[in-house]
Amino acid sequence: MKISRIAANLLAAAALTGFLGGSLAHAHDDAYLDTQKAPNGGQLRMAGPFHYELVVVRDSREAKENPVYVYLTDHAGNKVSSAGASGSAIILAGKQKATATLKPDGDNRLRGMAIYSSDPEMKVVVAIIQADKKTEQARFTPLAAMPGMDHKH
């Protein structure tokens, strides 16, 4: 009995450290999430117990007022209610810095507006305060080329 418990612990440790295909160890890191097709065409990031999907305007050559959307899901891709949540998205695009105040806008979406251009080097930090007052944050490069997404159909 003692040997089977040790074997089970070793097997669990191997799975968690990636020796069994690596799917559990790296399932939700940024590199893995960049290979996944986001439901709303944005970029996915892990934020504590959530996935945030950031959607920004991709074709605004000049800085102007544009929407910013953040969709909330759990790690299985199930929608998480945005009711009672609030947040911000700090956008660095070119030499511009803008902040969008995010408010609930649908079942699992927050929306805000900010003045930004669609710069491929754009960086965005999203912080969301859930209804229970817990705050999670994620960093995005929403317009950067994503690995595995450069092929044509």
Query: pLDDT (tens digit, 9 = 90+) per residue, 88-115?
Result: 999 999 889 999 999 999 999 999 999 9
Identify whether residues 119 and 44 lie together within a single domain.
Answer: yes
Of 101, 34, 111, nearest to 72 by C-alpha is: 111
Structural domain includes residue 81: yes
Q: For the segment 44-66, what is each residue's pLDDT rounded down to a tens digit?
A: 999 999 999 999 999 999 999 99
**Domain of residue 120, CATH code:** 2.60.40.2480
Inside any domain, residue 128: yes
Quick check: is 129 in a domain?
yes
* pTM score of the predicted model: 0.78
Overall number of domains in the chain: 2
Q: Is the dihedral of CA 20, 21, 23, 29 positive or negative?
A: positive
Show the domain range for 16. 1-25
Domain-located, residue 59: yes
pLDDT tier for residue 27 given thresholds of 50, 70 and 90: low
